[in-house]
Structure 1
Amino acid sequence: MNSPLGLIILGFGGHARAVADVAMALGVKHFRFIDSNARQNETFGVFPVVPRWEEDLPDGWSVMPASGDCLNRSSQCEWILNRGWPLATLVSPTATVGFGASIGPGTLIGHHAHVGPMASVGVGCIINTGAIVEHECDIGDFTHVSINAGVAGRCHVGRFCFIGAGSTVIDGLCLHDGVTLGAGACAHRNLDTPGVYIGVPAKKMTGKALD
């Protein structure tokens, strides 16, 4: 997978900085961050943070959606594509991607992450630092598998899901679109409705109660 000559990163929050860190590890040397809340003369090292971008995209550059929020990242991808700009796909040099795996545009595979053989990761996803998506998994568009989370083999995870830090999805399960699995939780059965699930085993939150 070729690295872009330069990168525009949408946003300047924590995830945007993680994106830049992976890109720098890949040898990308030219950046611009676009953030509507940018302060005057704000920078990330020597790289400027600007509130808008009104120029043409330089040759060889691409653009990365960098919101940690799944819905916002979807909107960022739409904004990029509406301008006819290419979505970046970044895979850390310390990550591993197995035989036959596919990674969608606009996706970040973080440092020390692993995507197993024949797995499929959709558009605008985050497979964050140390996360594992094992063999033959299908990860839907705009889903975030957070740091040190594990999705065991042959799982289907829907679109706009958030798999929290250190959580686990047991082998062969299906998670509905819009599922949030809380940090440290363990999904031991299919999660068939959207919502927030916490605990070991994971149970759905309803107001202040658990189903």
Structure 2
Amino acid sequence: MTSPSGLLILGFGGHARAVADVALMSGIKELRFIDVNARPNETFGPFPVLPSWDEAPSAGWSVMPASGDGLGREAQCDWATKRGWALATLISPTATVGFGATVGPGTFIGHHAHVGPMASVGTGCIVNTGAIVEHECLIGDFTHISINAAVAGRCHIGRLCFIGAGSTVIDGIRVNDGITLGGGACAHRDLDEAGIYVGVPARKMTGKSPV
């Protein structure tokens, strides 16, 4: 995969900084951050943080959605594609992507992450630092597989899901759209109903307690 010569990063939160780190390690030389909350003259090292951007990116540049929130990344991807601007696919040089695996536009694969053979990761996703998406998994658009989470083989994770830090989804499990699996939780059965699931085994939260 050919790296762009420059990257327009949408946002300047924590995930945007992780995007910048992977971009620089991947050999991308020029970065611009776009964030409506940018302070005057704000920078990330030598790279400017700007409150807005109206012109098309220069030749050889592409755009990376960098909201940590799935709905935010969906909106950022929509904003860029409506303008005809190319979305980057950013994969850390320390990550591994297996034979026959596919990674969609606007998706970030972090340091030391692994996407197994024949897996499919959708548009605008995050497979964060040290996360594992094993063989033949399907990861829906705008889903975040957080740091050190493990999604075992042949799982189907829906769109706009959040799989929390250090959590586990065991082999063959289906997690429907919009579900959050809390940090350290273990999904040992299909998660069908929208909501937040916590614990080992994972149970749905109702009010302040899992049921």
If the TM-score is normalised by the length of the shorter chain, which range does it land in?
Answer: over 0.9
Q: Helix, strand or coil for the counterpart of 1:72?
A: helix
Aligned residues: 211
1:193, CA displacement in angstroms?
A: 1.1
2: CA distance between counterparts of 1:109 and 1:97?
Answer: 9
2: CA distance between counterparts of 1:36 and 1:28?
Answer: 24
* Stretches of structure 2 lacking an aligned partner (at least 5 in a row): none
Deviation per CA, 1:62-88: give whole Å up to 9, x if none: 000000000111000000001100000
Task: Give the partner amino acid of 1:65.
Answer: P
1: CA distance between counterparts of 2:80 and 2:93?
Answer: 25
Taking structure 2 as the reference length, the TM-score comes to 0.99
* Stretches of structure 1 lacking an aligned partner (at least 5 in a row): none
1: CA distance between counterparts of 2:55 and 2:82?
Answer: 15
1: CA distance between counterparts of 2:134 and 2:185?
Answer: 18
Question: 1:153 — aligned with what?
Answer: 153
1:1-211 aligned at under 5 Å gives the runs 1-211=1-211
1:207, CA displacement in angstroms?
A: 1.1
Task: Give the partner amino acid of 1:104.
Answer: G
Deviation per CA, 1:79-110: give whole Å up to 9, x if none: 00011000000000000000000000000000
1: CA distance between counterparts of 2:61 and 2:193?
Answer: 39
Taking structure 1 as the reference length, the TM-score comes to 0.99
Task: Give the partner amino acid of 1:90.
Answer: L
2: CA distance between counterparts of 1:208 and 1:165?
Answer: 20
Asked if 1 retains the 8 angstrom alpha-carbon contact of 2:113 and 2:129, the reply is yes
1:122, CA displacement in angstroms?
A: 0.2
1:54, CA displacement in angstroms?
A: 2.1
Identity of matched residues, %: 74
Deviation per CA, 1:123-174: give whole Å up to 9, x if none: 0000000000000000000000000000000000000000000000000000
Task: Give the partner amino acid of 2:18.
Answer: A
Q: Helix, strand or coil for the counterpart of 1:23?
A: helix
Task: Give the partner amino acid of 1:27.
Answer: G
Compute the RMSD of aligned alpha carbons: 0.5
2: CA distance between counterparts of 1:110 and 1:56?
Answer: 27
Task: Give the partner amino acid of 2:157.
Answer: V
Q: Helix, strand or coil for the counterpart of 1:64?
A: strand
The 10-residue stretch of structure 1 (144-153 or 52-61) with the greater mean CA deviation from structure 2: 52-61
Asked if 1 retains the 8 angstrom alpha-carbon contact of 2:23 and 2:90, the reply is yes
2: CA distance between counterparts of 1:13 and 1:166?
Answer: 21
Q: Helix, strand or coil for the counterpart of 1:55?
A: coil
Deviation per CA, 1:160-196: give whole Å up to 9, x if none: 0000000000000000000100000000100011110
Asked if 1 retains the 8 angstrom alpha-carbon contact of 2:92 and 2:111, the reply is yes
